[in-house]
């Protein structure tokens, strides 16, 4: 009689464990959904265009450095460029040191404030790279054969 009882106890503990894990998972999912807005590292230019990004408050915007938009102001470290998610773009002004990976067409995250005139003044600029890794020769060959895919703007899911 002892064995079935032990087995029943094990099954019961298993059931309690499964229920607890389901409950915990649901709680975690609900919490994360509720805080969804605060868990994003940066806003996209589309967020800015649709007024989902706060004005005059410290925040980050992310996207790609628009091709042909980079201007360096002569005699200073000031740079101007546009951050785009290929739907909308935000002009950015930044004065300071840029990371090595920073270049046109590259992913970027800028931390700063959006003024009411739509210009984003950045106090920090971080480079972001995509998930593709390849030797330079392969990248060259892809570009030559026209099979090069444009970098996806970060945060352009859904």
Partner 1 sequence: MNWHRFASPSNFKRLSARIFPWAAGGAALCLGYGLYQALFVSPPDYQQGQSVRIMYIHVPAAWMAMFVYANLAFAGAATLVWRHPLAEVAGRAIAPVGAAFTFLCLATGSLWGKPMWGTWWEWDARLTSVLILFFVYLAYMALNNAFDDATRGARASAVLALVGAVNLPIIKFSVDWWNTLHQPASVMRLDGPAIHPSMLWPLLAMAVGYTLLFVVLALVRIQAELIERRLGALVQARLSAGHAQ
End-to-end CA distance of the chain: 58
Q: How far is the CB of 117 from partner 1 (least distance, A)?
A: 25
Contact 68, 117 (CB under 8 A): no
Q: How far is the CB of 134 from partner 1 (least distance, A)?
A: 4
Virtual torsion, Cα 44, 45, 47, 48, nearest 10 deg: 130
Q: How far is the CB of 60 from partner 1 (least distance, A)?
A: 9
- Our CB check for partner 1 shows the closer of 41 and 75 to be 41
CB atoms within 10 A of CB 62: 24
- Our CB check for partner 1 shows the closer of 47 and 66 to be 47
Whole-angstrom distance, CA of residue 112 vs CA of residue 110: 6
Chain positions contacting partner 1, by CB under 8 A: 10, 13-14, 17, 20-21, 24-25, 28, 32, 36, 39-44, 62, 98-102, 106-107, 109, 124-140, 154-155, 157
Q: How far is the CB of 147 from partner 1 (least distance, A)?
A: 14
């Amino acid at each position: 009689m002892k064995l079935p009882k032990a087995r029943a106890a094990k099954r019961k503990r298993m059931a309690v464990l499964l229920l607890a894990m389901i409950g915990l998972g649901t709680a975690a999912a609900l919490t994360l959904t509720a805080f969804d807005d605060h868990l994003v590292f940066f806003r996209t230019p589309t967020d800015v265009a649709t007024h989902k990004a706060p004005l005059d408050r410290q925040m980050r915007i992310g996207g790609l450095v628009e091709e042909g938009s980079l201007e360096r102001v002569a005699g200073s470290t000031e740079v101007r460029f546009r951050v785009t998610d290929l739907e909308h773009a935000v002009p950015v002004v930044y004065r300071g040191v840029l990371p090595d990976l920073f270049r046109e067409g590259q992913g970027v995250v800028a931390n700063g404030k959006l003024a009411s005139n739509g210009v984003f003044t950045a106090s920090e600029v971080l480079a972001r790279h995509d998930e593709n890794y390849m030797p330079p020769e392969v990248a060259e060959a892809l570009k030559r054969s026209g099979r090069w895919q444009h970098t996806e703007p970060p945060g352009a899911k859904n």
